Amino acid sequence: MKRLLPACLSLVAALAFAQHHGYTGHQTREIKALSPEEIKQYRDGAGMGFALPAELNSYPGPMHALELADQLKLTGPQRAGIRALMDRHKAEARAIGARLVEAEQELDALFRSGTVGAGALKMKVEAAGALRAEYRLSHLDTHRQTRALLTREQIVLYDRLRGYAQDAHKPLR
């Protein structure tokens, strides 16, 4: 028991230190709210988990559907349709992602200026938020459109191959 108390106190102190210094190093970031990896992902149009409600509810993503094309027995027209959908989506997501990074840069610059007015702050936050919503919508809608190109059997198989196996008797909505 005597050894346990110092260990617990050390743990509490470490947690308190981490809370007070949780953003150490972030002050040197180009954009304080985004890591360099997040900036790259937005500019690349990466999924970043934005489409999880679709992916995990039997709305396949085009990239993974194409990766599994042989196992899903995609037809030529299905492959072409999904490829075209993915290419359009990637171009759109990259453009939105670049604008989102720009909006976050502007928000960061506003605070760097040292003069943050309520109106300007509201405008910058709403602009960044709208772009984040547009980015997510692009990813989710692409999953919706991908599902429309697949058969029920392919969707069930996709879920199984991706490790989301659902009850085979459960109807797809």
139 pLDDT exceeds 80? Answer: yes
- Asked if residues 31 and 105 have their Cβ atoms less than 8 Å apart, the reply is yes
Half-sphere exposure of 112 (CA within 13 A, CB side): 13
64-69 long-range contacts (CB < 8 A, ≥24 apart) are 64/158, 64/162, 65/146, 65/150, 65/158, 68/158, 68/161, 68/162
Q: What is the pLDDT of residue 23?
A: 84
Q: What is the pLDDT of residue 6?
A: 58
Mention every residue, 6+ apart, whose C-beta is less than 8 A from residue 138: 89, 92, 93, 96
Q: What is the pLDDT of residue 44?
A: 97
pTM of the model: 0.83
CA 99 to CA 96: how far, in whole Å? 5
* Domains of the chain with bracketed CATH: 36-45+60-161 (1.20.120)
Q: What is the pLDDT of residue 19?
A: 59
Residue range 148-153: mean pLDDT, rounded:
98
pLDDT digit string, tens, across residues 38-53: 999 999 999 999 999 9
The fraction of the chain above a pLDDT of 70, given in percent, is 83
The fraction of the chain above a pLDDT of 90, given in percent, is 76
Q: What is the pLDDT of residue 29?
A: 83
Mention every residue, 6+ apart, whose C-beta is less than 8 A from residue 68: 158, 161, 162
- Concatenate the DSSP letters of all residues of the chain into one string: -TTHHHHHHHHHHHHHHHHHTTTTTGGGSSSTTS-HHHHHHHHHT--TTTTHHHHTTT---HHHHHHTHHHHT--HHHHHHHHHHHHHHHHHHHHHHHHHHHHHHHHHHHHHTT---HHHHHHHHHHHHHHHHHHHHHHHHHHHHHHHTS-HHHHHHHHHHTT----TTSPP-
pLDDT digit string, tens, across residues 63-103: 999 999 999 999 999 999 999 999 999 999 999 999 999 99
Q: What is the pLDDT of residue 26?
A: 81
pLDDT digit string, tens, across residues 20-32: 667 888 888 889 8
The amino acid at 10: S
